[in-house]
Structures are given as C-alpha cells and as structure tokens.
Amino acid sequence: MPTGVSVGSVAADLSWEVRANNRLFHRKQRRRSCLCLHRGRYSDNVIRSYKYSALTFLPLSLFEQFQRIANIYFLCIVVLQSIPAISTLPWYTTMIPLLTVLSVRGFKDLADDLARRHSDSQINRQPCDLLTNEGFTSVQWKDVCVGDVLRLHKDQTVPADLLLLTTTEPHSLCYIETSDIDGETNLKIRQALAVTHQELSSDPIEPSLLAFDGQVWCEEPNSHLHSFKGVLEWRDMRHLLDTGHILLRGTVLRNTRVAYGLTIYTGLDSKILQNCGQTAVKTTQVERTLNKVVVGIVLLVLLFALLLAVGAGIFEARVAPGIEALAELGGRYTPVYKVFLTFWGYIILLSPSMPMSLYITFELVHVIHSLFIGWDLDLYDGGVDVPAHARSTTLNEELGQVRYLLSDKTGTLTENRLIFRQCCVAGVLYGNMPDKAKKHDPLDLSWNPFSCGGLQFSDKRLVDTLRKPGSPDVREFFKALALCHTVMAEWKDAGVSEEASAGAGAPVYQAASPDEETLVGAARELGWVFLSRTRDSMTLSELGHRRQYQLLALLDFTSQRRRMSVLVRDPEGELKLYCKGADIVILERLRKDSTYCESTEKALEVFSQGCLRTLCVAVRSVQEGLWEEWSRALELAAMTTGASDDLYDNMERELTLLGVTAIEDQLQVGVPETIATLRQAGIKVWVLTGDKKETAVNVGFACRLLDPGTRLLQGEELRQLLQTPSPEIPLDGGHGKGKGAGNRTSAMVITGPELVEFEEQPELGKRFIALSRQCQAVLCCRTTPSQKAGVVQLIRKYTSSITMAIGDGANDVNMIKTAHIGVGLNGLEGGQAVQNADFSLAKFHFLRKLLLVHGRWSYRRISVFLRYFLYKTSSFAFVHVWFAFCNGFSGQPMYETWFITLYTVLYTSFPVQCLAVFEQDVSAEGSLRWPSLYQLGVGRQLFNPRLLAGTFLYSIYTSLVLFFLPLSVFCFSAIDFQTFSITVATASVFTSTTELILQTGYWTMFNVAAIVFSMSMYFLATLILHSPLLHTIAPADFYFLGAFQNAFASPLVWLTVLLTTCTAVLPSLAARALLLVLNPPDTHRVHSSDGAIRTERHLELRPAFRRGHVRRRSSYAMSQGPGFGWLITSGVALDKTSATQSDRVDINKIEMDFATKMQMHVPQADHSQESAGCGQTELTADAVDL
Amino acid sequence: MKSQQAANRPDNTAFTQQRLPAWQPMLSAHFVIPGFLLIGMAFIGIGVALYITSQNIQVLEKDYTGTGQYTACSECADMQTIPCICNVTFSLTTLFTGPVFLYYGLSNYYQNYRKYQVSRDDVQLWGDVTKSPGDACAPYQYIDNKPIAPCGSIANSMFNDTFSLYQIINGTMKLVPLDGKGIAWWTDYNIKFRNPSAQGSLQDAFNGTMKPVNWSKPAYELNPSDMNDNGFLNQDFLVWMRTAALPDFQKLYRRITSGDYALGLPPGDYVLQIEYNYAVKDFGRKKVVFSNVTWMGGKNEFLGVAYIVVGSLCLVMSVVMLVVYAKYKFADENA
C-alpha cells in the first residue's frame, strides 16, 4: 500500500501533469495539429483513423497515387504526347486512361475513408458518465478530457486511461477484464489509493468528487502496458502510483457495481493506442515485383529509344539527304535536334508496352477477387450472420503466398471458455473424451438447486457414485475442489440482476484463474457448493448439508511452486491439508504407500493425449501438534525473513492422492483440422499470446500445432542455442534412438522478456529466425501488443516471406497492421481488430478456405494475368523497334493509332479479365484436399524474375515474328503500308488471343463469350473505323479508309496472318506439349486420385492418439501469478463476519428445497446405476482403442 | 424473422460460389502428339500448294536505273537532257500468260518515313482546294502564298517516268495497249479522293492554286489523253499516294488486258520505251516488272517455303515428343 509522504520535489521524468476537475487548464493545452505541426500536449479523446478532410483529399490522394512509379511514368508520357513536335501518338491515348485510373482509385480511397470515419464516430460516440457541477451527466467518449472524473458502471468499457479513485466495493477494489489488451481472460484486480478511498467514499459521492483537486504527476504517454509511474499530490501529501491503480482504455469493468476514475491519458496518449502502431500502406510482393518490372521496362524503352535515336542520326546524316522527298521534311531543324525529337517520339511509341490498362485491370481483378471472398458461403457464419469481408482489396494474391501465420490464442484459437471434461478419482476415469461428449445428453442436475448449467460433463456414473452413500474418495475429491482455491463467491441480489434470477440464487464466482473458477463451478454443479468465505472460514453446501470449515492457512500459488494448498479444520475438528497442483509436483509429494498411482498415471496419459489441462488433487491429515509447531514457525518466518516456501514444502508432504481433474480449454470449431491442413500446406504457424507459457503450450498441443512427440526448446536451452553462431537443433539422442531420431520435430517457446533481448541484440534475433526455420512451430507467450508486432517485424526483417497475422482483440491490432496481411476475427466485443484488418472472418477455420482456395486461386490468376498482360503488350509494342529499321528510324507507328488505343482496351482485354476472374486449375475441393498445392505460391513459382524474364524473351520473339514474317512475305511486293499494318495488327491480335486460349484451363461460358466478343469487336471496330462514313466526318483521323475491305479480301494477307500467328505461339505450344508429355501436372494427379487422397487425409488427422510412442507430458496449466490469496488472508476484500443476513435467508430456503428434492430423487439414482455400468465398460473400450 | 437474421447471407449462385459450369480440357500425350502431326501435315500441304502456285507465276524484271551493272538507260542516268527517252529491249521465248501486269519498282525509297507519310492533306484531296493546306504539308504548302494542290511531299515526289511497250514484228514496232484504268483502290477513287468542283472545267476548279514544285504539269493535265483521268483522281496519282509499306516496293503501272495481248504477250522481241524523268541514283534503283498474277497475288516463294519450314518443325516436334513419351512410358512400366 502506497502511503503519503510530504511534498518534495517531483522526479524529473514525471512531467505529465494532470489536474483533477480542472478542464480549463487542460483545454488550454489541448493538442492541435496542422499538417505536421503540433501544438499543445494533451490530445483529445477522439479517434481519427481517417486520412482526408475535404481540403486535403485532392492533394493528399494525388500525392499518394503519384508515389506509384507507374503513375509518374504515365504522367510523363502524357506530357510528352502533348508536345506537338514529338507526338507520334495523339495525347488522348494515355490521358484518358490515366484520368480514369486516378479518379477510380481516388474514389475508392474516399469511400474507404468515409467508412473509417463512420467506424471512428461509432467508437467516439459511445456514452460515459462525466462529473460536472450538476453531477454526473452522460457524454460521449470524444468529449472526455484529461482531468475529468468519470463514473463507470459494471460491464462498461473504460474510455480512457484512468486513475482509480474509488469504487462501490469494499476497500475500493475493482475487477477488470483485460482480454482486449493482453488476451488474458482472468479478471485483474485494481485498487484505489487508501487515501482517495477514504476521503472520497461519501454518500452522495458527487460533492466530494467535485471537491477533489488532486494533481497527478506521471510519465509522458508511452506504450508500456504493464508499468506506470506517477505520484498523486493532494492536500500537501504525495502518494506513489503504480499500474495497480490504473484502468486502461479498452478494459472492461467486471463484478464491480460502480467505479470512479480520474482521466490521465486520453485518445492517442492512452496506452493501448500508443501500442497501435502506424498504419502503413500495404503492397503485395507481386505488386513490388511488378513495379520492378515497370522500372525494367521503362529502362528498356529508354535504351531502345536511345539506340533508335542513334539510328535516326545515322539515317538523317547518310540516307535522307539523298532522297529529295525526305530531305526537305522537317526542314529547318538541325540533325541533332531531329535525333533528339526522334528519341522522345520513340519513347511515346514504345510506351504502350507498359499500358495504363494493366493497372486498371489489375485493380478491377483485385476487387472481383475480394467480392468472391465476401460472397463465399463457406466463409459465411450463419450463427452470427457475418460473411467474410475483404476490407483491403489489394492483397488478394498474397493470400496465396503466406509462409508465416501468426495467430493470437485467446478468442482466435480458443473459445475463451474452460470446460470441466474429465476426472479420475480413486483410479476410475469419469467423463468422455472431448469429441465424443457431444453425442451424450447433458446430465440431469435438476436435483441440485445451485446448479445453473454450463457443465459439459455427461458421465452419469460420477453423479451416481457421488450421491450413493459410502464413496468417501469421490466425496473427498469434490470437497477438495470446493475448498482448495482462492475463489470468492458473490451473491447476487435477485432484484438487480437478471442472471441471478435465472440461476435460482446460485453464487457467482470471481476468480483470478479461469481454471479455478471452472473447478469450483464443476463442484457446485455436482453438489459441493462453495457458498461463501470469510477471512478465516469457508462455508460449503455438501449435497445440501451446510458445513463450515475453519481456514487455518492458505499456501498460495506461485509459478515456482506450481501448487496451492489450504489447511482447514472441518466441523468435526479434524485438520486437513488439501493441495492441488501440477502432476509432477504432487506425485513426488505423495506418501510412499499411495494407492491408485498407476491408474492415475494412466489417466494422466489419457488426459494429456486429449490435450486437457490437468491438476492433481491430494489431501493430508495433519496432526494438531504438527500444525501448532508449523504455524509458529510460519509466524516467525513472516516476521524475520518472509521466506515461507520451505515451510510450505514441509507441510505439503506425505500427501494422499485423491484424483486428477482434466479441463479443456475449448478450441474454436475446426481449429486442429485447420492447423493440420495449414501445416501440410507448408505454412508455419506461430502463436503469439499475452497468456502464460503453460497455457500456450497446452493449447499448442490441443490444436495440433505441436505433435505429442514434439521437442520443446525453451528457457535456458533455447538461450544457449541462440548463443552459438549458427544454431542447429541438436539431435535428441535419449529417446527414439533407433529409428527416426532426426525426424523428431521441434518447437520453440519464447516469452516476451526474451523477445526484448532480440531488439537489443540483433544477431540473436537473426539466429532466432534461422532456428525457427527448423522448428515446426513457435509459441511466444507473455507478449505485449507491441512485442507481437515486434515478432512480425523480426520475421519480415530476416526473411522475405509473407506473414499473416490473425487476431480478434485490440491487443492484436498492432500485429495485424504490421504483418503483410492482417486478418481480424469478428469477435464478440469491440471489433478493433477487424477495423484494422485487411480481411475479416467470423471463424478461425475459415482461414483454410481463404488461404488454400481463395489465396491460391488469386495468386495463380493474378500471376498468369500479369505475365500474359506483359507478354501481350510488349510483344505488340516492340514491333515498332524492328519496324524502325525499315522506315528510317522516323518514329512511324506500325499500326493505326486507333488500333494502338483499342488493342489493350477492347480487342484483347475481356478474355484476359475472364481468365483472371474465373481460372481454376484445381477445384475448391481439390485445393483443400491437396494442401501441398499451396507450396507453389509460397515458393513464388508463378511470378518471379526468372519467369518474367522468360515471358519477356518470349514477347521479344513474338514481336520479331510479328514483324519479320510479314516483312519477308511482302518485301518487294506492291503492298501498301495500310494493308501491311492491318496484317501485322491482325496477327498480333490473333497471337495474343491464341496465347490466352493456351493459358486458359477453365472454360466457362464467359471465357468463350469474351473471346468471341473481342474477336468480333476487332473486326467490327476495324470495319467501322475504316468506313467511308467516319472518313467523311474527319478525314485526318480516319485515314485508313477502305483498308479493311482491301486487306481482308486478299488471301495472301490471311495466309500471312495464319503463318505469323502459328509461328509466334509455336514455342509456347511446344513447351506446353513437352511439359505435358514429360510430367503430367499436379492437376492430373489430383483429378485421377481423388479417392486415395481422401482416405489419406482421414488417416493423417488421427495419429495424435497413438499409444505407446507418446511420452506423457505434463499439461498442467493455470493462470499466472499469485491469485487472490493475499486478499483473502489479509481480509481486504472480505468482512470478518460471514455472509450478510439476507444471503443467509436465501441459502436456508434453497437448502430446504434441496433436501426435499433429494428425497424424491433417491430411488431413481439406484435405477440408473445399471446403465452407468454399461457406460464404464464402454469407456474402458475406448481407452484400449486409444 | 428468419430472413432478417440471414440478411447478410451471400447468394448461393454458381457465379458467386465460383462453381460455374466449365470445361477443363485435360490434354494428354495421346491428343497432343497427333495434334502436332496434323498441324505439321496441314502446313506442309499449304506450303507445297503455295510454292507450286508461286512457281507458275512468270516474272520479268528490268532494272533501268542506268548505273552500275545494268546498262539500260545509262544515257539518261545523269539527268542532263529532259525529257530523255530510252529503250529497254527484251525478247520472250514463250507466251507470257495474261493478264500481264506492269509494275515499276523503287528500292531504298522510304515512303513509310513518318514525316513523309503525313505530308499530305486529306481534306484537300477530298476536293477542298480553297482551304489552306495543313501544316503537315510543309515545306510543300505554299508557293508565293498560293496553296499547292496537291500539297505535301508525297504528291510532290510523284513518280513521273512513263512507259510504252512495243512488240517488234518484222522490224516494225506494234504498240501494246496498256490499260491504266482501275489500277487504284476502289475506295480511293470513289471516296477518299475527289476533284474540286467548280462551274467550269477542272482547270477552273484548280484556279488559285499552284502545281507542286517537281511537277511539270499541273494536276488537271496529268493525263492529256483522258479528261476523266485528271486532277486528284488520276490513277497514277492515286497509286502513288497509297504509300508503300517498305523501302523496297513495287507499284502497279498498267495492265495488259486488251486487244491481241489479252491472252498474254506472245513470244517475240519487245521494246519498252521509257521517258526517264525520275532521279533515283542518289539513293537507290528503279526497275520495271512484268508479272502475271494468281489468286495469291504476285510471285511469292517465301510464303510457301515458310509454311513448309513451320510444318516440318511441327512434325519434328511430334516425333521428339513421341520418342520422349515412349521412353517415359517405357521407364514407367519398368518401374
């Protein structure tokens, strides 16, 4: 407890000043920002994730768009084209597409921004109670200001970082849930300073709060969630503040009626938003490669233009003067100037090799792929009526290339719910394996008035054994569960809460550890009801009989001890020590002559195979003399050293084993299958959680991220490995020496503090990533949101692989923003993860289809699309290079300008769009059944510099063929330029269409229609453009009059087109045919062996349940840190007396009900024993099967 | 209520679920190898047909530049005397099957030079000589501030050698009638080009314009023998204005279709009388070409050969694939 000290000088680093109830002071210093200039220091509590305002939209949007290299390039081309002297093509050929692209993208950004504004305002408009001179008034979050005093009700989300002043609970305690911040589900305790608690808890409270004029000096806003340094100066006293007095924005008030707090940090200054990181514009790896290709092509165009300009120089100097008709043209310019003009002319002429329409179509295809994701029924969760949503429409193909999946645990992998599944008492297993439980009917617990449902335990034998007299082991076991814990019972006033009325007056438990809450809850359901506790007593209702136990000592949990005990005196006066803890710890403390050890070991094995969290429960009868001696020693130790662990050890000995509990941390639907499939697909799954190590490892096993034989590298061993320059996982010789010793998989378990070291020592991080390549999984525990993002950055820094982060809470936002792709799960609360994610899903297992089907298809479609597009445009444009050698390097276009404009837009665009939208090499089912197909994308096998170079060479070849074959045919003939031009143009259209036909593997009617349409458009448009009508309107623009009829009437033209087309695509055709003959592609195998794959997969998911091979591992798990022990023993949270008067009346009434019901039910219990016997045989059969 | 609950449910259509009925061609070696074989055979077939057709075409070329290895018209090559008439003689031993086409050919002449190609005014050629010619015509736009009609470099550089053909029968020269009608494109003659219209004669219509610098006669006097073949609709002018694709080109001059020569040029001696006006010696050569034509146009050996080569390549490919396939399958069966 911090105590007041007199005012002295404030430490230098505590420079953040907060004056309570002094709005004027803070308003004056409110931060205002204009562009990059900030003034003032206190930010307001408004979230602004939007980027544009009405004024800044145009300049900012244009600035962002012209950061793309392609847009700048096109702008340059437009500028060049509008200079008459060098304009080889009219200006509109590039200007119109450029304007289209800029405006389409601008409107899309605007729409996104408006959506962000909307979601911002939803957050900003949440209500909260603010103290004003008129008392508490309801205001919106955005109106909260530093220094304000706020009132929070139960289950409200905290709107800003607050200093807890007082609560309605005793000692100004309050409970908060921080799952949105660190992913931990257990409740945390916050307590107000003693001074504020005492001085401000008047009734009514408003006047005293209004009079509160304390001054807080604390650190500047920072991102450390678990630390806070500050002092409160009030009434000339100074009180130290730490993180235990602070309610962070985003946490939820639980089990506390009302809390009052002083606002310390608002908006951007709050800790959670300091953790959010910066929003960066994400581009995909394919797009970056494309940008490099753009640069490459631009350089090539420059080079070609330069060479052709040199050629033009030679021509102008040597040849042109001889030809009178040419010599006079362009008359007064010097040859050098002419060459200069020719250079720019060729740049314009060759620019269609990098057409604008590529970017337009690229964007369009992205949007359609995103729509497909939203339309997919398999990604739609009917339960909550939420379809998948691609919030960012530019990252689709990257979904097909993910190598690292970084997943949050709580709420993402797990349901955030613990279930009492099984137990083993006196050597007998009760309960069923998780996956079989669904088939059983829930137990009939109507005989128990305290039961409020929620128990997913269906073994009737246990209930029968419990209620049958003369089964001391089982009763002792549940008594232990009901006694040995630090849970507090809360009695609801039935009038206040609806929950309470539904639960027929059952106690509500508050626990520091969700495991304990589950165990005590299970005991309650089965008749051993923990009713209430005082500082030195506990009251139970044992099958309706009320008994009070005297609590002598509470040996609290620590992570070193991994156990906790209570020493109680039962109503009969006997002293007993109940102990529960990790199996290893308990088993070594058993009496030598303990029974059931062997069967318990077996049960533990079964539980650990079922990935259940286990706790061993044991009891010890303590002699009165021993207790007196021990308690004296304890008092002595408390007074002198404070070290009581040895003493605890002495007491927790000679235990008798009662049984083992098994709790399931319930996974979300389909998580193990999804992770297994993703692993088969070659995706490395990392789990990043704020939760503690044991829990994470347990979940890792449960969701098949870790195999039963997986070797865990952690702690000191990992540290030593990382010290070696090139870490390699040592072969584990001890086990499985014979076969496959090297095949043992490994996984790394690392904690947040260890991660911090990587930031300080970069080479450690590098080795860590190198080591992780040899591991099948990595678990990062105890991580803060910024550490999660740090892990993502670490991977991005040392590998070039694609990372994907998935999470559901505010604590995942930073990670989601940092990863290449962020996926947000539509959780129950907040949805902050979704707001910042690129994709949102309703369930984790949808990831399978999103990655393996949508991602894979997108990657394939976009890779094929881009490669084809580059081929089509560059083969068409580079013809100009070769033609230059035949027209005196004069910049004469090979084609009619209309053809150049329409070629990419009309004649060849729709088929490739269809290809990019509909192409499927393998069906959705096949993709899921054959996850290894995904490797193609991870290995970038469809879009890489090598392939692009190949594509480029092929397009050069094609352009050579397109020009030189017609040239050879028509050389020395009476052909005119226009017919020649049409021949090359037609061959060019035919070639690109044929190549597209070769690329298409999935022919829907749209593909066929698009090809038919494009080809007919070519002929129709050419016919129209060459028609007399248009020529009479504008002779200068439609000068190819009659060329259509004359050219296409000539068989020679058709024969040339046919020959050119066939020759141009021959290499592609031959390569495809050869590949086909040499090795039939995967698709063939997939199609031919559907059945085989299905059985194979079925088998693959089973082996986690093999017997014998598996070393039993301790899957003990409990919430970290000491529980509420200190609260109980110090009595802070409890009254000295027992439950209140009204509570007692209730209990008595319930107990009477209980007794009557018991009598009614007894005969039935006997009857049902038969069937229970059958259940037992069934269970043993199961066990053998396992 | 239920429909409200599922308000966000995506539509279950074949399109949205990407289950459109589709045909997925599963090509196999059994299909590909015969396919290549078939294409190869077809190409070779076409190639052979083209080659044979081309071989049947008779061509007679006479270079009359007057310099270098060909001595014909060497007296005119220096362009001292204008007009300079020269004769090119040749004899035929077999019938030159008709209809015979007479071409003139220029080499190394860049009619596809960009500035040259655009050096014309399509509006003017469409009959509007009153308007000032377009800038593209520069420097052949005006003479003494009067517009040139037809303007531009193409028109100015029009080929102006003339040919007349005589057969020598018993020492006398018999004129072979040359048909200059319909050698231009129908669309050019009827749509693209129009003579300016005026009340009086064609000459009146061209009133106020100047003839191109290099022309000896104005446009309305191009063909003194046929009043209708003058102005912008002169056939030779139309042919010249349709610029050639490549630097080495031919242009149709006349056809021999009438009289005694409708079936072709019979064996015998011929004299081609050339009025040598067009200077080429600074850049290239000129020639006359007699040729008959088939359905595929003039003589063109390359196309046939190319088809045969590509066809053979396909055949070779199919054989290679067959070998590879057999080996692969053989190995597969062994394993």
Let me know: does A836 contact A822? Beta carbons within 8 Å. Answer: yes
Q: Hey, is the C-beta of A970 within 8 angstroms of any chain B C-beta?
A: yes
Residue B115 to residue A1084, Cβ atoms within 8 A: no
- At residue B173, the 3 state secondary structure works out as strand
Let me know: does A467 contact A457? Beta carbons within 8 Å. Answer: no
Which residues in chain B touch residue A1039, judged by CB atoms under 8 angstroms apart? 122
Amino acid A985: pLDDT = 96
Amino acid A1109: pLDDT = 40
H-assigned helices in A421-469: 434-437, 460-467
DSSP E strands: which ranges in chain B? 59-63, 84-92, 96-97, 100-106, 142-143, 146-147, 162-169, 172-176, 249-256, 264-265, 268-276, 286-292
Residue B119 to residue A891, Cβ atoms within 8 A: no
- Which residue in A973, A1005, A1078 is closest to B328 by CB distance? A1078
Which H/E stretch holds residue A510?
A: strand A508-510
Tell me the C-alpha distance between A94 and A88, whole Å.
Answer: 12
Nearest to A1036 by CA among B131, B209, B250: B131
Let me know: does A817 contact A788? Beta carbons within 8 Å. Answer: no
Let me know: does A679 contact A685? Beta carbons within 8 Å. Answer: yes
Nearest to A1052 by CA among A994, A995, A974, A988: A974
Cβ atoms within 10 Å, residue A524: 27
Q: What is the mean pLDDT of chain A?
A: 80
Tokens, residue B244? 């050639």
Q: Hey, is the C-beta of B108 within 8 angstroms of any chain A C-beta?
A: yes
Which H/E stretch holds residue A1018?
A: helix A1005-1025
Q: Hey, is the C-beta of A375 within 8 angstroms of any chain B C-beta?
A: yes
Let me know: does A108 contact A360? Beta carbons within 8 Å. Answer: no
Indicate whether A117 pLDDT > 90.
no
- State the burial class of residue A605 (Cβ atoms within 10 Å of its Cβ: 0-12, 13-18, 19+): middle
DSSP E strands: which ranges in A67-156? 127-132, 135-140, 149-153
Of A706-710, A737-741, A1012-1016, B276-280, the poorest mean pLDDT is in A737-741
Q: Would you place residue A1056 in the very low, low, confident or very high pLDDT band (cuts 50, 70, 90)? A: very high
Which residues in chain B touch residue A1055, judged by CB atoms under 8 angstroms apart? 46, 50, 296, 303, 307
Nearest to A474 by CA among A460, A464, A487, A483: A464
Amino acid A498: pLDDT = 40
Q: What is the mean pLDDT of chain B?
A: 88
Exactly one of A269, A408, A459, A691 is catalytic; name it: A408
Sign of CA dihedral A1087, A1090, A1092, A1097: positive
The residue of chain A with its CA nearest to that of B103 is A974
The proportion of chain A whose per-residue pLDDT surpasses 70, expressed as a percent, equals 84
Let me know: does A214 contact A183? Beta carbons within 8 Å. Answer: no
Shortest alpha-carbon distance between residue B227 and chain A (Å) = 26
Of A373-377, A503-507, A1142-1146, the poorest mean pLDDT is in A1142-1146
Is residue A408 among the annotated active site residues? yes
Q: Would you place residue B161 in the very low, low, confident or very high pLDDT band (cuts 50, 70, 90)? A: very high
Nearest to A4 by CA among A275, A266, A219, A196: A196
Q: Hey, is the C-beta of A823 within 8 angstroms of any chain B C-beta?
A: no
Mean pLDDT calculated for residue range A223-239: 84
Nearest to B39 by CA among B331, B320, B327, B316: B316
Of A438-442, A882-886, A1165-1169, A1180-1184, the poorest mean pLDDT is in A1180-1184
Of A391-395, A415-419, B256-260, the poorest mean pLDDT is in A415-419
Indicate whether A736 pLDDT > 50.
no
Q: Hey, is the C-beta of B6 within 8 angstroms of any chain A C-beta?
A: yes
Indicate whether A1157 pLDDT > 60.
no
Residue B245 to residue A976, Cβ atoms within 8 A: yes
Amino acid A1003: pLDDT = 94
Amino acid B331: pLDDT = 66
State ipTM: 0.95
- Which residue in B8, B111, B192 is closest to A1041 by CB distance? B192
Q: What pLDDT, in 10s, does the model give residues A750-779? A: 888 888 887 788 888 888 888 888 888 899
Let me know: does A183 contact A809? Beta carbons within 8 Å. Answer: yes
Q: Would you place residue A730 in the very low, low, confident or very high pLDDT band (cuts 50, 70, 90)? A: low
Q: Which residues 213-232 in chain B show a CB within 8 A of chain A?
A: 214
The residue of chain A with its CA nearest to that of B153 is A325
The residue of chain B with its CA nearest to that of A382 is B6
Q: Hey, is the C-beta of B324 within 8 angstroms of any chain A C-beta?
A: yes
Tell me the C-alpha distance between A434 and A751, whole Å.
Answer: 29
- Which residue in B251, B279, B296 is closest to A1051 by CB distance? B296
Tokens, residue A1105? 């349940």
Which H/E stretch holds residue A579?
A: strand A575-581
Indicate whether A720 pLDDT > 50.
yes
Q: What pLDDT, in 10s, does the model give residues A23-37? A: 888 877 777 765 556
Tell me the C-alpha distance between A609 and A597, whole Å.
Answer: 18
Q: Which residue has the higher pLDDT, A986 or A329?
A: A986
Amino acid A38: pLDDT = 64
Of A1145-1159, B70-84, B180-194, the poorest mean pLDDT is in A1145-1159
Indicate whether A880 pLDDT > 90.
yes
Nearest to A961 by CA among A872, A857, A874, A1065: A1065
Q: Which residue has the higher pLDDT, B123 or A1104?
A: B123
Q: What pLDDT, in 10s, does the model give residues B280-323? A: 888 889 999 999 888 888 888 999 999 999 999 999 999 999 99
Amino acid B242: pLDDT = 93
Q: Would you place residue A1021 in the very low, low, confident or very high pLDDT band (cuts 50, 70, 90)? A: very high
Amino acid A728: pLDDT = 65
Amino acid A500: pLDDT = 38
Indicate whether A1097 pLDDT > 50.
no
Let me know: does A490 contact A509? Beta carbons within 8 Å. Answer: yes
Name the phi and psi angles at A961, rounded to 5.
-60, -45
Amino acid A1134: pLDDT = 59
Q: What pLDDT, in 10s, does the model give residues A419-449? A: 888 888 888 888 876 554 455 566 777 777 7
Tell me the C-alpha distance between A904 and A900, whole Å.
Answer: 8
- The CA angle B56-B59-B63, to the nearest 5 degrees, is 165
Indicate whether A122 pLDDT > 60.
yes
Q: For helices A356-375 and A856-877, what crossing angle results, to 10°?
A: 160
Shortest alpha-carbon distance between residue A522 and chain B (Å) = 34
Amino acid A256: pLDDT = 82
Count of A–B CB contacts within 8 Å? 238
Which residues in chain A touch residue B28, judged by CB atoms under 8 angstroms apart? 1076, 1080
Indicate whether A983 pLDDT > 90.
yes
Q: Hey, is the C-beta of A1029 within 8 angstroms of any chain B C-beta?
A: no
Q: Would you place residue A609 in the very low, low, confident or very high pLDDT band (cuts 50, 70, 90)? A: confident
Shortest alpha-carbon distance between residue B36 and chain A (Å) = 9
Mean pLDDT calculated for residue range A634-640: 79
